[in-house]
Structure 1
Amino acid sequence: MSKPPRFDRGHTDDLMSFLAASPTPYHAVANTAERLEKAGFRQVAETDAWDGTAGGKYVLRGGAIVAWYVPEGAEAHTPFRIVGAHTDSPNLRVKPRPDSGAHGWRQVAVEIYGGPLLNSWLDRDLGLAGRLSLRDGTTRLVDVDRPLLRVPQLAIHLDRAVNSDGLKLDKQRHMQPVWGLGEDVRDGDLVAFLEETAGLPEGSVTGWDLMVHPVEPPAYLGRDRELVAGPRMDNLLSVHAGMAALAAAAARGSDLSYIPVLAAFDHEENGSQSDTGADGPLLGSVLERSVHARGGSLEDRARALAGTVCLSSDTGHAVHPNYAERHDPTHHPRVDGGPILKVNVNNRYATDGSGRAVFAAACEKAGVPFQTFVSNNAMPCGTTIGPITAARHGIKTVDIGVAILSMHSVRELCGAKDPFLLANALTAFLEG
């Protein structure tokens, strides 16, 4: 194994800034694009003809981004090395008719997205962010990053058995946040407020994709600041690490024997079936067009994909000190123990023995330790974009990630070193 990398807290500091600045998938891809631009990448439009010139390029589509770097001398059949991740997180999303309320309270009607830990959204100061679609066909990002909404919990005096019988939440009745007072609830109030906030003319917004987010910033935690608490680590932690790894690989230029790719998809938390999800055509279209732009044929595309490997990077479960019996007795991933390799023989994860060897080689090259995760046989296993990517594109895919606690909570918890270790392992993988 190579000499272990010396921990650089600057990477984790930057992750925390990235999390805070990315309350929605749309903000996450905008921030990723901005950072890649600084590393020399340029945006290409899907509606334009692509050229086969060397360099870094990226495509934006809604809440997804695919970025790649073509080294000098790359052939049409040069294989890809892909880091796959997702930009979305479970949360509360604004309904088409958002203005509601009762008994003197003004509320915002929300729908539950994905599988959040509902109780973690109670009694928190919440902001509102997302994408506004305008009458002229353009879009505008908006972020009200201040205490604006709150989902108030019922007082214990009115639910005496809550601590003994557990909290029971109805998704429709109990999760609607309040944002003011007033008997007169008028359609259009929330959108008018957002138009004013974004400096847009009244009536210019004709569509919206809005979601609620906690405004408490990420923070170091623990005696020695060895932990990080923050929102949306599942899975912006992997997006950030993949972005850093792609920029580092691109800096090597012509030394690369593969074409490194970052594919950060939307809608993983509800099945990936969308034009920006991993089960959609976006990644395949980009890879195929990249081959053709370099003068490649259908045969070149087949050869390139046959030699391609994808690391599907998503967060996983660290062993919980209060619930260790919920984990497999021989697999207890620990925070700051290095990235985890996820295995499930029923293909909920895409990892097999040959994929393990690819990841082990990358970790050995980077000097990074890794751990293995497998679910307790008595409990259902989650899944990722890994099996979808493998099946849809016919490419070898390996599921990995960082072990965290409180997955799908408003505020998740990881080790301060693990994001840095993951980025180093992904860099070694992309460099080949």
Structure 2
Amino acid sequence: MLDSLFEFIEASPSPYHAAASAADRLSAAGLLEAGRSEDWSELDLAVGLTVRDGGTVVAARAGPDVDPEQLRFSVIGAHTDSPNLRLRPQPDTGALGYRQLGVEIYGGVLLNSWLDRDLGLSGRLVVQDGTDSATGAGPETVLWRCDRALLRVPQLAIHLDRDVNDGLKLDRQQHMTPVWGLGEPSADGFRSFLAEELAVVPDAVLAWDVMAHDLTPPARLGRNGEMYAAGRIDNLASCHAAVEALAGLSAVPDNTAAVVVLFDHEEIGSDSATGASSPILADALERIAAALGADRSQYLRAVARSLCVSADGAHAVHPNYPERHEPQHLPALNGGPVIKTNANVRYATDARTSARFAAACDTAGVPHQIYSHRGNLPCGSTIGPITASRLGMSVVDVGSPMLSMHSARELGGSDDPAMLTAALGAFLADG
């Protein structure tokens, strides 16, 4: 399972690549890919469908016998995006003989973790068809990645900042601009670089959504390989587990539609056309219900009897900072999936949904853990509360424990991906 996760992470340097990787895996499992604007009514949902839009994927399979009066959804939600450095629309900048690329900080980045790393670039490009933008051919959106060591954010030497080890302070605008060459910056240097990469004229490169990614590959870590390190564990580990659970499902229970949704833009609040705050999941569920013969009333009743597992990274107890954790809730690496709770509903778990996921873990034969955030620290959130409030659906927030969350390179337990996948698979199989 860990090798499969490593392959998924390596294939997914951006959320757009992650969505494509997930869709490819689901297609290999037999699910049919469709578009959001296509008619789904004639699709065989027993075979399954996959819908991809940018960095977001919705996939579903239905049981062989669905009575619209008894329909329910078993939903697994996760997100494809991770905190990183994203290139500006006019990125070319520089000073003092250095060529640099302007970036914006995306999400809650641990800024220091991006210093002194060899960085590649990836994302999506909008390109005029053909080699000449004057031909009148329509634009095309393409995935693109460059795994050469293109960028680096060099840290200031200690000789020039003797107090750095007493507290590093980084200005997002001034200190995080990566270098990518020597000489005077060109106004269209980056556009010209993309044109060379694609073998088109510079004017054919119309726009981009491009971000940096660490080039260090995933690796087992520790004396016995009991841990693993990689970029984007939050939240590609959950995406991978959700996709594997749905793809490996031998049969969907009667009266059930098993659904996986991988959203983009969770790290910045989910307020986008393909984020959890959008109608994309509600619309998909209603269209799936309609394809299964349910009317609007039957769909709404199906939502009321359904459950969503919101899968996202969970905080493992940190050996160097035990005072930052609630002392009665200390999840451990390789301790099994974590059920995340918060009285102020930063996580959407309640007693009923917690018990249901614990039962799925029992069915899968894996242990589970409980997380509660320390009371004197602000708690993060997930797509769970958003899904619950948008749909009125019961939700449980879960995830595999990890350290270094939101670092350019994070740390997990080697046994946890398989355990999360097994628990999610049991949840889908039991309905």
Alignment TM-score > 0.5, same fold: yes
Q: Tell me by how many angstroms 1:133 deviates.
A: 1.0
Q: Which letter maps to 1:140?
A: V
1:416 maps to 414
- Output the CA distance in 1 between the equivalents of 2:225 and 2:319: 19
2:135 maps to none
Q: Tell me by how many angstroms 1:292 deviates.
A: 1.3
Q: Which letter maps to 2:73?
A: F
- Output the CA distance in 1 between the equivalents of 2:378 and 2:201: 50
Q: Tell me by how many angstroms 1:295 deviates.
A: 2.5
Local SS of the residue matching 1:138: strand
- Output the CA distance in 1 between the equivalents of 2:418 and 2:254: 22
- Output the CA distance in 2 between the equivalents of 1:205 and 1:358: 50
Q: Which letter maps to 1:34?
A: D
- Output the CA distance in 2 between the equivalents of 1:419 and 1:206: 39
Q: Tell me by how many angstroms 1:257 deviates.
A: 4.6
Deviations 1:294-319 (A, max 9, x none): 22211111121111100000001100
Of residues 130, 136, 150 in structure 1, which corresponds to 2:152?
150
- Output the CA distance in 2 between the equivalents of 1:129 and 1:360: 38
- Output the CA distance in 1 between the equivalents of 2:148 and 2:12: 14
- Output the CA distance in 2 between the equivalents of 1:361 and 1:327: 26
- Output the CA distance in 2 between the equivalents of 1:96 and 1:119: 24
Of residues 95, 105, 117 in structure 1, which corresponds to 2:98?
105
- Output the CA distance in 2 between the equivalents of 1:262 and 1:187: 43
User: Mapping of 1:205-284 within 5 angstroms?
Assistant: 205-249=205-249, 251-252=250-251, 255-284=253-282
Local SS of the residue matching 1:430: helix
User: Mapping of 1:329-348 within 5 angstroms?
Assistant: 329-348=327-346
1:28 aligned to 2:18? yes
1:294 maps to 292
1:7 maps to none
Q: Which letter maps to 1:17?
A: E
Q: Tell me by how many angstroms 1:186 deviates.
A: 1.6
1:12 maps to 2
- Output the CA distance in 2 between the equivalents of 1:344 and 1:245: 26
Q: Percent identity, aligned pairs only?
A: 52
- Output the CA distance in 2 between the equivalents of 1:380 and 1:343: 14
- Output the CA distance in 2 between the equivalents of 1:366 and 1:240: 17
Q: Which letter maps to 1:14?
A: S
- Output the CA distance in 2 between the equivalents of 1:383 and 1:155: 36
TM-score (norm 1): 0.95
Contact 1:151–1:175, Cα closer than 8 Å, also in 2:
yes
User: Mapping of 1:366-381 within 5 angstroms?
Assistant: 366-381=364-379
1:73 maps to 65
- Output the CA distance in 1 between the equivalents of 2:154 and 2:212: 14
Q: Tell me by how many angstroms 1:49 deviates.
A: 1.4
Q: Tell me by how many angstroms 1:207 deviates.
A: 1.1
2:131 maps to none
Local SS of the residue matching 1:386: helix
1:167 maps to 168
2:49 maps to 57
TM-score (norm 2): 0.95
- Output the CA distance in 2 between the equivalents of 1:138 and 1:57: 24
Q: Which letter maps to 2:198?
A: A
Local SS of the residue matching 1:336: coil
Local SS of the residue matching 1:55: coil
- Output the CA distance in 2 between the equivalents of 1:373 and 1:161: 36
Local SS of the residue matching 2:203: coil
Contact 1:256–1:431, Cα closer than 8 Å, also in 2:
no
Contact 2:67–2:255, Cα closer than 8 Å, also in 1:
no
Q: Which letter maps to 1:244?
A: E
Of residues 86, 102, 105 in structure 1, which corresponds to 2:79?
86
Deviations 1:346-379 (A, max 9, x none): 0000000001111011011101100000011111
1:385 maps to 383
- Output the CA distance in 2 between the equivalents of 1:105 and 1:19: 32
1:176 aligned to 2:177? yes
Contact 1:134–1:205, Cα closer than 8 Å, also in 2:
yes
Local SS of the residue matching 1:69: strand
Q: Tell me by how many angstroms 1:50 deviates.
A: 1.3
Deviations 1:388-414 (A, max 9, x none): 000000100000001100000000000
Local SS of the residue matching 1:187: coil
Q: Tell me by how many angstroms 1:71 deviates.
A: 2.5
Contact 1:348–1:381, Cα closer than 8 Å, also in 2:
yes
Q: What is the aligned length?
A: 418
Q: Which letter maps to 1:123?
A: D
- Output the CA distance in 2 between the equivalents of 1:246 and 1:209: 29
1:4 maps to none
Between 282-291 and 293-302, report the one with greater CA deviation.
Answer: 293-302
- Output the CA distance in 1 between the equivalents of 2:90 and 2:362: 53
Q: CA RMSD in A?
A: 1.1
- Output the CA distance in 1 between the equivalents of 2:18 and 2:68: 31
Structure 2 unaligned segments of length 5 or more: list them.
129-137
Q: Tell me by how many angstroms 1:199 deviates.
A: 3.4
Contact 1:257–1:431, Cα closer than 8 Å, also in 2:
no
Q: Tell me by how many angstroms 1:21 deviates.
A: 1.2
- Output the CA distance in 1 between the equivalents of 2:202 and 2:156: 37
Q: Tell me by how many angstroms 1:73 deviates.
A: 2.1
Deviations 1:98-138 (A, max 9, x none): 11110000000000000110000000000000000123232
Contact 2:68–2:255, Cα closer than 8 Å, also in 1:
no
1:6 maps to none
Q: Tell me by how many angstroms 1:430 deviates.
A: 0.7
Q: Which letter maps to 1:145?
A: D
Deviations 1:283-342 (A, max 9, x none): 001000111122221111112111110000000110000001100011110000001000
Contact 2:228–2:412, Cα closer than 8 Å, also in 1:
yes
Deviations 1:228-263 (A, max 9, x none): 0000000010000000001112x325x455211110
Between 54-63 and 146-155, report the one with greater CA deviation.
Answer: 54-63
- Output the CA distance in 2 between the equivalents of 1:233 and 1:146: 21
1:138 maps to 140
